[in-house]
Structure 1
Amino acid sequence: MLSINNLSYFIGGRALYENAALHIKPKDKIGLVGLNGTGKSTLLKIISGDYQPTSGEVQKAKDCTIGFLNQDMLSYQSEEPILEVALAAFKETLELQHEIDEVLKKMETDYSDAVIDRLAKLQERFEANEGYTIKAKAEEILEGIGFRTEDLMRPLKTFSGGWRMRVMLAKLLLEKPSLLMLDEPTNHLDLPSIQWVENYLKSYEGAVIVVSHDQEFLDNCIDITVEVSHGTLTSYSGNYSFYKEEKKERMEIQQNAYENQQQMIKQTERFIERFRAKASKSNQVQSRVKALERMDKVNEVIDDNIAVNFKFKFSQKSGRDVVTLDHVSKSYGDLKILEDTSARIERGDKIALIGANGKGKSTLLRIISGTEQVKGKVSHGHNVIKSFYAQHQLEALNIDNEILQEMVQAGSGKTETELRGVLGCFLFSNEDVFKKIKVLSGGEKSRVALAKTLISEANFLLLDEPTNHLDMQSVNILIQAMQQYEGTFITVSHDRHFIRGVANKIWYIENHQIKEYPGTYEEFVYWNESRKADESIEKSNIKEKKEPRQRRSNTELDEARKVLKKKEQYLAEWEDKILGLEKRKADLEKEMADPSVYSEVDRLQELTEEYEKIKISLKEANASWESLVEEIGELEQIIA
């Protein structure tokens, strides 16, 4: 469908891409990953035609259409209602509707056969384009990504940039391009909307390329990961978790090959040095010198996963009770946020406040911080020193300051060496600390603002969407920092990977009440799904009491038993196949771990290719096994 061949793209004298290649097939779901600054967004702009490559080419099929959601769309404004903006995706159908309206108007005075025939043809095309359903489709997608029904007729210009971006996303999804490209789509979505988009992309009929820092989002909606690194594009045939494991294995193989080659180079160099002066060995020496010159060097592995060590200092520890909310209510006019609700934050709590936008999460943070007026009582405990991080902190940075200067002015009392250590943890090293704030990217400014928040000697942190604009490496650094933080914090976040890594309690707002789950996010998800399932069963039982289930005939039951027996046989066959694949995978891993195999390039390539195929076959076999287990369970319920 689309091919990138020998792509090179230079910025100044720096090669962002050099002889890169990528082939995209019609239904590929691709996640584009890599450190900030490696050129992920640039690649999308090259594919869309916004940027022209320095050399190489992007070839696409004649019928390939491209839809591109990027951050530039934040500035788009319109007087039209958001429903009309989204409906603009159906340009041809809307034009047909306009023609139909004109013909109907003409028919008020002209009943000729030609006019009637014209109307019939237009209506036939309109129906073929599913014109009668486009409004329902637009409403479904807009509501799926978080808009309320009553919002659909509000003008686009009345919404914030993040909500306008959602409208642009809805329009793109309705257009259904052959290739859908999304640049950080989750930045402006809440958790329910992210999950809705995940499900939509899974069944999307075209190809998708996603740039995202949200690891779980990538896991749930892609099947190919493409890493941008050192000017090249490297493909991995799986989702983000597969990519991490596969890359780890490839790095181990590469590092072994590098070490073996280095050992061989040293031995060769010692031979050359030892016999360079001996005439009898001159041919052998020259042969080995040329061999070294011709050798394809294996690069040493550079691990992007940075382990950091934060040293947090508190001048004083807070009391046991950090914040107490007692019968708190909050409304904005007729919009009710909280109603007579109570909650308590204790020392050592690591709370993730989750849920849909519009439920009042950021408002609750401001209430806890004491900056929002409420009915009821908000009490802060003994010796509580708080620090609040939100996106507006980025605007509070002095753009004329250097990074180190900004940190010094934060007033933590830390020495320059200590501040450099903290900045190093946030990927600002050596001369980077002297960069002006005004030249930093959004993600770099976020890292500076987070660093300032963490060096304040606060024993209670309030963090509003701290992972926005951070790349994956920075998110992992922040997770490590929060894991090492010995104080108390509450964070609003839609990043499930981040929440999983830091939270020991989950808060959510339901029916204007603050609800608490006293456990990790993983446990909360399991509990919440069980709760929903119980509610569904309860509703089903109530329905069954009203409408008793019809008994199946003996013929139907016999047929179900026959099918069940066959399915159980298939299940046993799949189990044998999985065991065989797992054994072969283990044998290959053992053979590839043998250092001697690295001297046989062809054999190593052969083993690697077979290993990749075995992993894919194993994944497919496990999926088939799981599907059979579900089918058997359903048949057993029928027979029971």
Structure 2
Amino acid sequence: MILLQVQQVMRRFGANVLFENVQMDIQEHARVALVGRNGAGKSTLLKMIAGETVPDEGQISMRKGLTIGYLAQDQGLDSRNTIWEEMSSVFAELHTLEDRMHSLEHQLSDPETIADQEAYQQTLKTYDQVQTEFQQKNGYGYQAEIRGVLHGFQFDADVYDKSVTELSGGQKTQLALAKLLLEKRDLLILDEPTNHLDVETLTWLESYLQSYSGALLIVSHDRYFLDRVVNEVYDLSHHEMVHYTGNYDQFVQKKAARIQAQWKHYEKQQAEISKLEDFVNRNIVRASTTKRAQARRKQLAKMDRLDRPDGDEKTAHFGFHAAKQSGNIVLTVKDAAVGYQDRILSEPDNLNVKKHEAIAIVGPNGIGKSTLLKSILGKIPFIKGQATFGTNVVTGYYDQEQRNLHDRKTVLSELWDEHPTTPEKDIRTILGSFLFTGEDVDKPIHALSGGERARLLLTKLAMQNNNFLILDEPTNHLDIDSREVLEVALNDFDGTILFVSHDRYFINQVATSVVELTPEGTELFLGDYDYYMDKKQEQAEIAEAAASEAAEQEAAANPEAPESAASAAPKSKGQQDYQASKQQQRQKRKLERSVAALEERIGELETQADEIQQQMVQPDNLADADKLQDLQKQLDAVNEAHDQTENDWMAQAEELENLAD
């Protein structure tokens, strides 16, 4: 079933057309990506679909009663509530039902109601109806649902009472997305939802969206994210829209094949045109052939000429080149600690970077990845240890905070001041290769967009001819095409690269190895991002199996005693704390598995109850009193099992929550 249709939509800015004749169909449960270059009009189109603006031409129609949730770029939640209050407000209807249930429970325990049998039965009937509705709408599970979503966005229980006003801009955006997910709209429109998310949160969000019950329309520069979430792609380019089926990788292949076919048809037509024009030019003045030449001329006039493929859009084209080669050992960091003012974020940190390697540093937000790069460069001192560069190493640094740009300068002067002996014509040519042309070079830097500032930083870096590039989030602010150009440039670079990135697709394309940064230090993985993730999964499985085996062996050796003889011996305070922590972890894992199993069982029982109720309203069964009575007994048994399972779940969920506290 189609939820929403975009039909022949146009948007103008003054005399210029941003896009026209745009068409899009969003089906029920669709997983749609909208891609295109910065400035193509993606966010503008999303605002139209969300109902915030209207098209200049065309229309957007939608199914009656369609609910839409829209998250604009970097749109933070504006509320004076606490985090928990704001999330809980999504379930206002359940709160009303819960209050109604408590009111009815009070009435049922009232002696006057009990004395009036008719009133008691009526109240009991009403209570059953309200309780059933409360149960069907996940009244007993919505708090666990809130906790699950908040945990996915790294909001733990100790911050639930924190006011939304105290959060950072990035956290407010995450909370806005969390609230939208809980609202379960029919269509969720997300404009760059992966901004401000670390890899762990991104992985959780991908998993959540894969099972989201409604339809999704997403704009994102995160190609890895799109590959895992979407199965349709709409490409907004050359002022028009083209639809492709498949994820992002499949879209890239199909678009390339489509453009190749267009070129083939275009070149074939051009050859035919050239042949016809040549015949006309040679034969139009000859009496014997003039009629045939006139016929060819008419044929040319009637021909529907194909446009040159790819339109007039430009792509940046640049490269990085080392002026001289470094030695084989480029960088060594041994047993270092990074942090601020004696607060250690990660220790011990070890790096051994060799010539021509491309090493990606990954880890959660706040772990010290950028701090490590700055410490290596001497911008922030190591708390412990030091960095040692090899022979002939010349470093170039890309700062994600863009602090090495001067806001009062123009684009041209930013480069020319650093390379005063280079002719202006050459500076303009280099800037042109990074898409700064014409009047663009006279723009003041403070007026540039994030993407333009990123391209200018890359221009400066390319002109330095370093042999060791240290890059901090180089793909931030770049559109997908610019990211792909950067990937090619780095893969062709004849030097060494050390970089921090949350862009997993970029890491896969560029990295020869991955270093994970944790509070316990660094760990090296000799492969790309997918290899790193496979190894992490393998490590987790081995650790879980080892813990399970150890627990089983301990239980088998001492079936009655809570502790073995060895463990019963006097222990130091540290040993006692360690054993208590391990025991708590085992208990927590056991409870988590049990709670998950109970949740699954509740879902199964609810499905069984729905199926029985559907059978009860079938005409044949309604006419058969015995059959109806039998179905009612089945339903009562299922409901009883459901209530008992739900009680077990609530008890264990509360125990788990207390354990976490």
TM-score normalised over the length of structure 1: 0.76
Kindly report which structure 2 residues correspond to 1:4-43, keeping only aligned pairs within 5 A, or say none: 4-43=6-45
- Bigger Rg over Cα: 2
* 1:106-164 deviations in Å (ceiling 9; x for gaps): 99999776988877665554333213322211211121133333233322222222221
Residues 321 and 273 of structure 1: CA distance in aligned 2, closer, same or farther (over 3 Å): closer
User: Aligned pair 1:389/2:398, yes or no?
Assistant: yes
Residue in 1 that maps onto 2:474: 466
Q: 2:82–2:163: 8 Å Cα contact kept in structure 1? A: yes
Q: C-alpha distance in 2, partners of 1:418/1:106?
A: 87
Q: 1:33–1:40: 8 Å Cα contact kept in structure 2? A: yes
* 1:187-236 deviations in Å (ceiling 9; x for gaps): 21111111111112222222111111111111111111111112221111
Kindly report which structure 2 residues correspond to 1:488-527, keeping only aligned pairs within 5 A, or say none: 488-527=496-535
| Paired letter, 2:281 | E
Residue in 1 that maps onto 2:432: 424
Residue in 1 that maps onto 2:587: none
Kindly report which structure 2 residues correspond to 1:307-318, keeping only aligned pairs within 5 A, or say none: 308-314=317-323, 317=326
Kindly report which structure 2 residues correspond to 1:406-421, keeping only aligned pairs within 5 A, or say none: 406-410=414-418, 414-421=422-429
| Paired letter, 1:205 | S
Residues 336 and 546 of structure 1: CA distance in aligned 2, closer, same or farther (over 3 Å): same
Q: 2:332–2:350: 8 Å Cα contact kept in structure 1? A: no
Which segment is superposed worse, 10-19 or 142-151?
Answer: 142-151
Deviation at 1:388, TM superposition (A): 3.7
Among 449, 453, 465, which residue is 1:445 paired with?
Answer: 453
| Paired letter, 2:301 | E
Kindly report which structure 2 residues correspond to 1:235-314, keeping only aligned pairs within 5 A, or say none: 235-277=243-285, 287-302=295-310, 308-314=317-323
Residues 318 and 68 of structure 1: CA distance in aligned 2, closer, same or farther (over 3 Å): farther
Q: C-alpha distance in 1, partners of 2:48/2:543?
A: 49
Q: C-alpha distance in 2, partners of 1:84/1:30?
A: 32
Q: 2:348–2:522: 8 Å Cα contact kept in structure 1? A: no
> What CA RMSD, in Å, does the superposition of the two structures yield over aligned residues?
3.4
Q: C-alpha distance in 1, partners of 2:544/2:225?
A: 26
Deviation at 1:275, TM superposition (A): 4.3
State the number of aligned residues.
Answer: 545
Residue in 1 that maps onto 2:144: 136
- 3-state DSSP of counterpart to 1:50: coil
Q: 2:346–2:518: 8 Å Cα contact kept in structure 1? A: no
Residues 21 and 321 of structure 1: CA distance in aligned 2, closer, same or farther (over 3 Å): closer
Residue in 1 that maps onto 2:537: 529
* 1:527-561 deviations in Å (ceiling 9; x for gaps): 3333333334444555666799xxxxxxxxxxxxx
Residues 412 and 543 of structure 1: CA distance in aligned 2, closer, same or farther (over 3 Å): farther
Q: C-alpha distance in 1, partners of 2:111/2:453?
A: 66
Residues 153 and 275 of structure 1: CA distance in aligned 2, closer, same or farther (over 3 Å): same
| Paired letter, 1:160 | S
Deviation at 1:54, TM superposition (A): 0.6
Q: C-alpha distance in 2, partners of 1:417/1:164?
A: 46
Q: C-alpha distance in 2, partners of 1:312/1:332?
A: 38
Kindly report which structure 2 residues correspond to 1:152-171, keeping only aligned pairs within 5 A, or say none: 152-171=160-179
| Paired letter, 1:71 | Q
Residues 234 and 386 of structure 1: CA distance in aligned 2, closer, same or farther (over 3 Å): same
* 1:260-296 deviations in Å (ceiling 9; x for gaps): 1112222232343344446776765555444433332
Q: C-alpha distance in 2, partners of 1:99/1:416?
A: 77
* 1:609-637 deviations in Å (ceiling 9; x for gaps): xxxxxxxxxxxxxxxxxxxxxxxxxxxxx
Among 364, 377, 398, which residue is 2:372 paired with?
Answer: 364
Which segment is superposed worse, 82-91 or 106-115?
Answer: 106-115
Kindly report which structure 2 residues correspond to 1:46-57, keeping only aligned pairs within 5 A, or say none: 46-57=48-59
Residues 5 and 387 of structure 1: CA distance in aligned 2, closer, same or farther (over 3 Å): same
Residues 361 and 100 of structure 1: CA distance in aligned 2, closer, same or farther (over 3 Å): farther
- 3-state DSSP of counterpart to 2:386: strand
* 1:228-263 deviations in Å (ceiling 9; x for gaps): 112221111111111111112212221111111112
Deviation at 1:525, TM superposition (A): 3.3
Q: 1:146–1:357: 8 Å Cα contact kept in structure 2? A: no
Residue in 2 that maps onto 1:221: 229
Q: Percent identity?
A: 33
Deviation at 1:457, TM superposition (A): 5.2
| Paired letter, 1:223 | N
Deviation at 1:455, TM superposition (A): 3.0
Residues 118 and 446 of structure 1: CA distance in aligned 2, closer, same or farther (over 3 Å): farther
- 3-state DSSP of counterpart to 1:15: strand
Q: C-alpha distance in 2, partners of 1:520/1:309?
A: 24
Residue in 2 that maps onto 1:605: none
Q: C-alpha distance in 2, partners of 1:449/1:116?
A: 71
Q: 1:9–1:15: 8 Å Cα contact kept in structure 2? A: yes
| Paired letter, 2:253 | E
Q: 2:357–2:512: 8 Å Cα contact kept in structure 1? A: yes
Residue in 1 that maps onto 2:329: 320
* 1:312-337 deviations in Å (ceiling 9; x for gaps): 3547847835342434264778x752
| Paired letter, 2:79 | S
Residues 347 and 264 of structure 1: CA distance in aligned 2, closer, same or farther (over 3 Å): closer
Q: C-alpha distance in 2, partners of 1:213/1:10?
A: 24
Deviation at 1:480, TM superposition (A): 2.5
Residue in 1 that maps onto 2:80: 79
Which segment is superposed worse, 46-55 or 109-118?
Answer: 109-118
Residues 519 and 80 of structure 1: CA distance in aligned 2, closer, same or farther (over 3 Å): same
Consecutive unaligned residues of structure 1, counting only runs of 5 or more, are 549-640
| Paired letter, 2:197 | L
Q: 2:318–2:434: 8 Å Cα contact kept in structure 1? A: no
| Paired letter, 2:176 | M
Residues 126 and 245 of structure 1: CA distance in aligned 2, closer, same or farther (over 3 Å): same
Q: 2:338–2:368: 8 Å Cα contact kept in structure 1? A: no
Residue in 2 that maps onto 1:553: none
Deviation at 1:170, TM superposition (A): 0.8
Q: C-alpha distance in 2, partners of 1:528/1:120?
A: 49
User: Aligned pair 1:483/2:481, yes or no?
Assistant: no
Q: C-alpha distance in 2, partners of 1:327/1:35?
A: 41
Q: 2:222–2:503: 8 Å Cα contact kept in structure 1? A: yes
Q: 1:426–1:474: 8 Å Cα contact kept in structure 2? A: no
Q: C-alpha distance in 2, partners of 1:332/1:179?
A: 47
